[in-house]
Amino acid sequence: MSESDHCHDRPKADSHTMNAEAETAFDLECRSLTRKFADFTAVDSVDLAIPAGAFFSILGPSGCGKTTLLRMVAGFIEPTSGDILIKGRSVLDVPPNRRPVNMVFQHLALFPMMNVAENIGYGLRRRGMPREDIARRVEEALVRVGLPGSGEKRVSQISGGQRQRVAIARCLVLDPDVLLLDEPLGALDLKLREHMKVELKKLQNEFGTTFIYITHDQSEALVMSDRVAVMNEGRFEQVGPAQELYYQPRTSFVAGFVGESNRWRGTVESIDGDRLSVVTESGVKIVATTSAGLQTGDPVVVFVRPEAIALSRTEAGLDAMGNRMAGKVDSVLFNGAASRVLIRTAASGGEIDVALPQTGEFNDLAAGQTISFGWSDTQTTCFAG
């Protein structure tokens, strides 16, 4: 059976294959899930519990193990050890086409010889559902994904975004407990990808199905998800709401991978209560909030978000800031609300990335101008490093 057959022929499990022993609040659980390939561990003892109806994303760089994890849940890869439970029942002995999950792949795997309605109804036909019931379910699905009356169109006649919706409808029409999405927006152009992020969240809300979405694109994970797991080298670095990952990272990897940051390497010079002073490799002193376990003399990595840095025409305008510098504007990068100013200072050892305020006060900044900037120690994150 092909991968696309697995995706579209997954009937709802019957009482013999998936008779849950007890009610559970979680649609999916992974317990100490591990997958090794020869001497390489792709997934390393991962624990995960995803509640019913959640939009959960697994975010990480290429090669971190996220696709391997998803394919174990789907049943395409067997775990080396650990367990996978859907609605409280282990599915390790359940073949892929009998698990109550469906999977949307990056390449979508739509059948070009079939029209839209035939693609969406493929799995229902494999189940032996009566033709009139299939037609009704397909049309209902088309309405819910915003494509009413498009059933007779060929796949080649619809746009990339519409094909995405057809692929999702083809899976959701089977009423799975969990929908797995393997970087489904990766092949789309930027504008369509931005649009589909919103559409996917709307679809998840509409159907109420648990979505598990893997991506290396942080903006996709942050925009759509109720909770996000940041994965690195086969393990979860941090799991939590998007806001927590962004504003309260628990590891250096999460601070550097989620969002944009200025970063310096340095050494802890002193600690005073919940504040510490760091001397960077270029000799700059930075005041930060204390990270647990750090001691004087420890090597550290300091992170500051571009939007945490304030600009001022004069140093006096930054008196309330615990960290203050001045430098010359290297360049202004206009990108609407996301515009940036790159400031070079001899002391900092490189460029400082600062978000351009939307007040319009600094719209006249140009390369070569001198500008002061600063930020609070409470907006400075410091980790052992």
Residue 229 pLDDT more than 90? yes
Residue 6 pLDDT more than 80? no
Residue 361 pLDDT more than 70? yes
| Tens of pLDDT, residues 157-166 | 888 888 888 9
- Name all contacts of 154-161 with Cβ < 8 Å and 24+ positions apart: 154/112, 154/115, 154/116, 155/110, 155/111, 155/112, 155/114, 155/115, 155/116, 155/119, 156/112, 158/116, 159/192, 160/187, 160/188, 160/189, 160/192, 161/188, 161/192, 161/195, 161/196, 161/199
Is residue 357 classed exposed, middle or buried when 0-12, 13-18 and 19+ CB atoms within 10 A define those classes? middle
**Residue with more model confidence, 241 or 185:** 241
The confidence score (pLDDT) of residue 209 equals 92
Phi, psi of 287 (to 5 degrees): -95, 130
The confidence score (pLDDT) of residue 360 equals 79
Could you give the percent of the chain with pLDDT greater than 70? 92
The confidence score (pLDDT) of residue 165 equals 87
Give the Cα separation of 209 and 220 in Å (integer).
Answer: 18
Residue 5 pLDDT more than 70? no
Query: pLDDT band at 71, cuts 50/70/90?
Result: very high
Give the CATH number of domain 260-384; options: 3.20.20.120, 1.10.10.10, 2.40.50.100, 3.40.50.300: 2.40.50.100
Percent helix / strand / coil, the chain, rounded to 5: 25, 35, 40
The confidence score (pLDDT) of residue 16 equals 38
Residue 15 pLDDT more than 70? no
Mean pLDDT confidence for 107-120: 88
Q: Which of 239, 234, 214 is nearest to 224 (CA)?
A: 214
The confidence score (pLDDT) of residue 4 equals 41
| Tens of pLDDT, residues 248-302 | 999 999 999 998 999 999 999 999 888 899 999 888 899 998 777 889 999 999 9
Residues of the chain with CATH 2.40.50.100: 260-384
The confidence score (pLDDT) of residue 23 equals 55
Give whichever of 82-91, 120-129, 176-185 has the largest mean pLDDT.
82-91
- Using alpha carbons only, how large is the chain's radius of gyration in Å? 25
Lowest mean pLDDT among 121-135, 304-318, 337-351: 337-351
CATH superfamily of 3-252: P-loop containing nucleotide triphosphate hydrolases (3.40.50.300)
Residues of the chain with CATH 3.40.50.300: 3-252
The residues that bridge with 231 in the sheet, in sequence order, are 236
**Residue with more model confidence, 188 or 284:** 284
**Residue with more model confidence, 8 or 243:** 243
Mean pLDDT confidence for 53-71: 95
Classify residue 76 by its DSSP letter.
S
Owner of token pair 């996220």: 66
Give the Cα separation of 66 and 180 in Å (integer).
Answer: 12
**Residue with more model confidence, 348 or 356:** 356
